[in-house]
Structure formats: structure tokens, C-alpha cells
Amino acid sequence: MALKLSLKPHEKLIIGGAVVTNGGDRCSLIIENSVPLLREKEILRLEDADTPCKKIYFTVQLMYVDEQNLSKHHANYWGLVKDVINAAPGTLGIVDRMSEQILAGAYYQALKTARLLINYEKEALGNVLGAA
């Protein structure tokens, strides 16, 4: 089944491993086959991966779009989630779900779950800062 995307002017996306930027006008693309695809709102840049959970999201994003280095990304992922679980045991349920998705090769779904982890982290940091 084809996927139709409508892109805003200058909107970016990743198709496969390629970063594509729309020109100055709105356009539509039809993706005819199955390929890793992330819209700009789903892309986390390396410089924005400034918390442990954002680093996990970034690593899962790399698993999704950079299949050639999958073993490296997996090794990085397992180290990061171990640290997060040790620091915040309450993340275990989210991490378990995300890890199952990763082991099944469902990287896009794992990215969605990683967003939950980022939200958990943001809420926990807000509670800590609010209590101070």
C-alpha cells in the first residue's frame, strides 16, 4: 500500500537513510514501497539528545534509518537502557515494551514507545524541580 505525504515548504524528512528537504512550495510525495521514513517532527538531532531518555530515542532512531550499523546501535541501546533503569526503576515497563519491539525489528513502534520514555523523564524532572 502506498503512503502519500504532504510536505510543507522547507519541511525535512528522512527516507531510508537520506535526508530530504522540500523546496519552497507545498508538495505531495507518494512512497510506493516499504522504507524507513521519519517526518521532521519525529526526527531528533544529535545535539538535541541532551538527556538519557532522548539519547535512547536517538539510538532507536539510528536503528530505524541506519541498518548497516545495527549491531553498534543495539550495543549502545542496551548500555543506555541499563543506566536509565538503574537510575529510575519506574521506567522498566516502558523499557521492556520498547526492547521487545526492538528485538522484533519494529523500530518505528519502538520510537513511539521511546517518546513515552521521554515524557516520563520530563515529568519526573518536573516533579524533582517542583519539589526543590
pLDDT at 128: 60
Looking at residue 127, its pLDDT comes to 64
C-alpha 29/C-alpha 106 separation (Å) is 24
pTM equals 0.90
Question: Which residue ranges in the chain fall short of pLDDT 50?
Answer: none
- pLDDT tens per residue across span 92-123: 999 999 999 999 999 999 999 999 999 999 99
Instruction: Return the axis-axis angle of helices 52-65 and 70-87, rounded to nearest 10°.
Output: 160
What does residue 106 show for φ and ψ, rounded to 5 degrees?
A: -95, 70
Give the up-direction half-sphere exposure of residue 86: CA atoms within 13 A in the CB hemisphere. 7
